[in-house]
């Protein structure tokens, strides 16, 4: 090496190696709590998957959960059969998948629309106010939301019911016994609670778009709708695909609180509110069979994994930056 002696290079390399080691230790120590959390709460409990294939029983002589699992009888795929052999099987699977597909695509359209509209507001203070108002429902539990809904459609003192009586309706609608209204009510409740959160993600992507693209478009005479169509939406494509992949991974899962609390667990509404999660919960309350509940959870995650992997490959073909990995 010209102009640099070997005695100078070796200490310099040693110091650089020491600096890299210190940086690696610092970064590893920062990631360690998250890694431990992931190991203890995500990977270690995966041993419990075996419960889905056993007739789980609590034995008084076996004082630990591990011993209970080991001593329980192996039944193979028997625990999975109740998901497909009961009279409610087709209905609950249909409700779960159809609701999720509609909400995924409708929620995407609503969230993108809100994000684009917020990005077009000229005053940031007004935009921040709208963001806060839209994001707030996301933090409410479904128990609270269920009483908001109840305040409107209560058979006795609901706001809509009172309006029907004031309009001269002799027999106001008993909302909790008429299934036909609930697909729309559940859709509105889901969008009201979750659309604000998704719109914030899209809005963050919009704010990261290079401003020079819009300036060049304005110079060329592009109107605002044209800027949205040819700049904003193409730049949002990757984020739309990523969220679509993540959401489709949960297509066989449902929001238990929405389907159980908002309809107030009303029996006449089961044809349109019975989904896999509520069905498993009610079956467990009746039978106490933990193996069936574990089998249902494993089935949901396995199907969701297949959906997510398939959609991820499709997204990568559409946009190289649109997949999760």
**In CATH terms, is domain 86-318 a member of 3.20.20.60?**
no
- Of the candidate ranges 51-55, 68-72, 223-227, 299-303, the one whose mean pLDDT is the lowest: 68-72
Name the residue among 245, 239, 217, 220 with its Cα closest to residue 116. 239
What is the rounded average pLDDT of the residues 106-130?
86
Sorted by where each begins, the domain ranges of the chain are: 6-74, 86-318
- Phi, psi dihedrals of residue 54, rounded to the nearest 5°: -130, 155
pLDDT tens digits, 120-134: 887 777 878 888 888
Instruction: Indicate if the pLDDT at residue 1 is higher than 50.
Output: no
Beta partners for 54? 74
Binning pLDDT at 50, 70 and 90, where does residue 62 land?
A: low
- Phi, psi dihedrals of residue 80, rounded to the nearest 5°: -85, -20
pLDDT tens digits, 231-258: 999 999 888 988 888 888 888 888 899 9
d(CA 191, CA 118): 17
- Cβ neighbours of residue 10 closer than 8 Å, sequence gap 6 or more: none
- Can you give the pLDDT at residue 109? 93
pLDDT tens digits, 163-217: 988 888 878 888 999 999 999 999 999 999 998 888 888 988 888 888 898 899 8
Q: Please provide the average confidence, as pLDDT, over all residues in the chain.
A: 85
Instruction: Indicate if the pLDDT at residue 135 is higher than 60.
Output: yes
Instruction: Indicate if the pLDDT at residue 294 is higher than 90.
Output: no
Angle 89-119/124-135 helices, nearest 10 degrees? 170
Instruction: Please state the pTM of the whole predicted model.
Output: 0.82
Percent of the chain residues topping a pLDDT of 90: 22
What is the rounded average pLDDT of the residues 53-76?
77
Instruction: Indicate if the pLDDT at residue 300 is higher than 80.
Output: yes
């Amino acid at each position: 090496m010209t102009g640099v002696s070997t005695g100078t290079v070796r200490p310099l390399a040693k110091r650089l190696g020491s600096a890299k080691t210190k940086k690696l230790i610092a970064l590893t120590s920062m990631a360690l709590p998250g890694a431990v959390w992931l190991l203890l709460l995500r990977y270690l409990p995966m041993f419990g998957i075996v419960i889905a294939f056993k007739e789980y029983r609590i034995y008084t002589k076996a004082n630990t959960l591990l011993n209970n699992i080991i001593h329980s009888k192996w039944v193979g795929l028997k625990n999975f059969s109740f998901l497909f052999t009961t009279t409610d099987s087709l209905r609950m699977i249909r409700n779960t998948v159809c609701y999720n597909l509609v909400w995924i695509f409708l929620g995407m359209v609503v969230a993108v629309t809100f994000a684009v509209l917020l990005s077009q507001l000229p005053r940031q203070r007004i935009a921040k106010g709208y963001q806060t108002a839209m994001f707030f429902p996301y933090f409410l539990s479904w128990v609270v939301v269920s009483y908001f809904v109840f305040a409107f459609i209560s058979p006795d003192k609901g706001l809509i019911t009172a309006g029907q009586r004031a309009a001269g309706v002799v027999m106001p609608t008993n909302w909790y016994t008429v299934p036909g209204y609930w697909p729309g009510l559940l859709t509105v409740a889901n969008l009201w609670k979750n659309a604000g959160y998704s719109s914030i993600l899209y809005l963050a992507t919009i704010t990261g778009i290079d401003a020079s693209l819009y300036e060049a478009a304005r110079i060329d005479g592009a109107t605002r709708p044209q800027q949205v169509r040819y700049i904003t939406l193409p730049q949002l494509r990757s984020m739309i695909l990523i969220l679509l992949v993540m959401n489709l991974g949960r297509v066989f899962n449902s929001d238990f609180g929405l389907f159980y609390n908002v309809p107030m667990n009303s029996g006449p509404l089961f044809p349109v509110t019975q989904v896999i999660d509520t069905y498993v919960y009610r079956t467990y309350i009746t039978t106490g069979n933990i193996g069936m509940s574990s089998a249902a959870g494993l089935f949901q995650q396995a199907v969701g994994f297949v959906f997510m992997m398939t959609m991820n490959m499709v997204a990568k073909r559409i946009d190289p930056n649109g997949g999760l990995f």
